[in-house]
């Protein structure tokens, strides 16, 4: 695998389609999947000095767990995502925040209006225009933070992405080949968008599910699963997922899958 799928690697032309995919099983994604990224959320918010009064925008905010963590630190939070069903959950989690449904390639915010812009696995290789938009809405002394998938050899979910690629239509497979290498191109993308890299590292994230059925349900809710489900049907795709997940199950621990995220921080230059 060299990349993710179209739904996980939005481009300007299909953000509504991406939003429909990611929103198709919104509560499953929000409650069964999204919490795995919490260590990455906390690490990046720490590194970016997010606290009382920070004006923060989370791009491709999903169901708003990271945005909620920022709000709990006292930040004034905005968030944007293509999936209206995920934004509904984000608004329920953090009613005081300003959440919008929209396109990260055309942010509906004014120039220099944020101290911090984050995106947790939302801006990938090929999404350079979203970084240009992030640069536009940041103050001159602002900070940017991104996460993305890390090394394949430490990516426990790699077999899942393999199943997505195997069962997705060719159009989605083609997009998939572009997006898994964000780590390799992150610095060049940042430079091209007018940023200077300030720090980078990796962080372990762990998916935890009590049983195989819950793990399959969670994996089937992620945006990249949707084209595969449309192609071969939900039952067949879930069976493929079950075949992958079943060997991971430990009767004492349930299903625990560890993966690596990469992260970067940057400032405008
Ligand atoms: C991997 S999920 C990450 C969600 C969230 N940041 C998290 O950490 O759970 C990718 C998100 O990007 C959103 N997305 C895809 N294309 C988009 C676009 N063009 N503009 C805004 N959001 C987009 C999807 O709806 C989805 O919520």
Q: What is the pLDDT of residues 113-152, one digit of tens each?
A: 999 999 999 999 989 999 999 999 999 999 999 999 999 9
Cβ–ligand 1 distance for 133 under 6 Å, the answer no
Cβ of 10 less than 6 Å from ligand 1: yes
At residue 175's C-alpha, the angle toward residues 39 and 248, to 5°, is 45
Whose CA is closest to atom 27 on ligand 1? 62
Residue 12: per-residue pLDDT:
53
Please tell me the distance from the alpha carbon of residue 13 to that of residue 110, in angstroms, as a whole number.
22
Query: Which stretches within 48-168 are classed as H helix?
Result: 65-72, 84-93, 128-137, 158-167
pLDDT cut 90: percent of the chain above it:
88
224 lines ligand 1 (CB under 6 A): no
Which letter does DSSP use for residue 29 in this model? I
Alpha carbon of 59 to ligand 1 centroid (Å): 7
Closest CA to 156 of 218, 110, 206: 206
Report the pLDDT value the prediction gives residue 8, as an integer from 0 to 100. Answer: 44
The three-class DSSP label of residue 251 is coil
At residue 59, what are phi and psi to the nearest 5 degrees?
-90, 135
Q: What does residue 173 show for φ and ψ, rounded to 5 degrees?
A: -60, -40
Q: Say if ligand 1 is within 6 A of residue 122 CB.
A: yes
CATH 3.40.190.10 fits 6-155+180-207+257-268, yes or no: no
Tokens of residue 69, six digits: 């963590």
Under the banding of pLDDT at 50, 70 and 90, the label for residue 178 is low
Q: Answer yes or no: is pLDDT of 5 > 90.
A: no
Q: What is the rounded distance in angstroms from the CA atom of residue 126 to the CA atom of residue 49?
A: 28
Atom of ligand 1 nearest to the CA of 127: 19
Please report the pLDDT score of residue 6 as a whole number: 38
Average pLDDT, rounded, for the chain: 93
CA 156 to centroid of ligand 1, rounded, Å: 21
Q: Determine which residue's CA is closest to atom 5 belonging to ligand 1.
A: 62
Task: Identify the CA nearest to 186 among candidates 71, 95, 264.
Answer: 264
CB of 260 shorter than 6 A to ligand 1 = no
Q: Side-chain half-sphere of 128: how many Cα atoms within 13 Å?
A: 11
Between 183 and 99, residue with greater pLDDT? 99
Residue 3, pLDDT above cutoff 90: no
Least confident stretch, 8-12, 30-34, 159-163, 233-237: 8-12
Question: What is the average per-residue pLDDT within 180-198?
Answer: 92
The residues, any chain, with a CB within 8 Å of residue 238's CB and separated by 6 or more, are: 216, 220
Q: For ligand 1, is residue 104 a contact (CB within 6 Å)?
A: yes
Residues 166/65, Cβ–Cβ less than 8 Å: no
Mean pLDDT to the nearest integer, 156-184: 82
pLDDT at 180: 66
184 pLDDT band (50/70/90 cuts)?
A: confident
CB–CB of 266/140 below 8 Å? Answer: no
> Would the CA dihedral through 108, 110, 113, 119 be positive or negative?
positive
Q: Residue 223 C-alpha to ligand 1 middle, in angstroms?
A: 9
CA of 9 to the centre of ligand 1 (A): 8
pLDDT, tens digit, 9 for 90 and up, residues 221-249: 999 999 999 999 999 999 999 999 999 99
How many alpha carbons lie under 13 Å from residue 47 in its C-beta half-sphere? 25
Smallest CA-to-CA distance from 198 within 152, 141, 154, 149 is with: 141
What are the extents of the domains in the chain? 6-155+180-207+257-268
Give the mean model confidence (pLDDT) for residues 98-109.
98
Question: 24: Cβ below 6 Å to ligand 1?
Answer: no
Q: How far does CA 8 lie from the centroid of its chain?
A: 8
For the record, the structure tokens of 201 come out as 């590292």
DSSP 25: T
Looking up tokens 């935890």 gives 208
Query: Pick from 82, 94, 91, 144: which is nearest to 119 by CA?
Result: 144
Distance from residue 252's CA to the centre of ligand 1 (Å)? 34
Ligand 1 and 207: CB distance under 6 A: no
Q: Could you tell which of 4, 7, 11, 19 is best to mutate to test the pocket of ligand 1, judged by most ligand atoms within 8 Å of the CB?
A: 19
| Helix axes 65-72 and 38-47, enclosed angle (nearest 10) | 40
CA distance 118 to 134: 9
- Closest-CA residue, ligand 1 atom 9, reads 34
| pLDDT at position 1 | 35
Region 35-41: mean pLDDT is 98
Instruction: Give the residue whose CA is nearest to atom 12 of ligand 1.
Output: 60
């Amino acid at each position: 695998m060299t990349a993710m799928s179209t739904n996980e690697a939005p481009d300007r032309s299909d953000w509504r389609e991406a939003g429909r995919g990611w929103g198709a099983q919104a509560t499953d994604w929000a409650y069964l999947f999204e919490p795995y990224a919490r260590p990455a959320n906390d690490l990046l918010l720490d590194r970016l000095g997010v606290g009382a009064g920070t004006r923060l925008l989370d791009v491709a905010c999903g169901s708003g767990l990271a945005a909620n963590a920022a709000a709990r630190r006292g930040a004034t939070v905005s968030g944007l995502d293509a999936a209206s069903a995920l934004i509904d959950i984000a608004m329920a989690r953090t009613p005081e925040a300003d959440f919008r449904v929209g396109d990260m390639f055309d942010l509906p915010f004014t120039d220099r209006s944020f101290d911090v812009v984050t995106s947790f696995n939302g801006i990938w290789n090929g999404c350079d225009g979203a970084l240009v938009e992030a640069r536009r809405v940041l103050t001159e002394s602002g900070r940017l933070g991104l996460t993305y998938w890390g090394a394949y050899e430490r990516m426990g979910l790699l077999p899942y992405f393999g199943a997505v690629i195997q069962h997705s239509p060719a159009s989605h497979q083609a997009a998939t080949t572009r997006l898994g290498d964000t780590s390799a191109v992150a610095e060049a993308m940042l430079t091209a968008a007018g940023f200077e890299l300030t720090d980078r590292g990796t962080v372990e994230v762990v998916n935890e599910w009590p049983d195989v059925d819950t793990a399959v349900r969670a994996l089937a809710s992620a945006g990249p699963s949707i084209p595969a489900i449309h192609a071969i049907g939900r039952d067949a795709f879930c069976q493929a997922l079950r075949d992958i997940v079943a060997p991971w199950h430990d009767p004492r621990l349930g299903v625990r899958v560890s993966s690596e995220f990469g992260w970067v921080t940057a400032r405008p230059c």
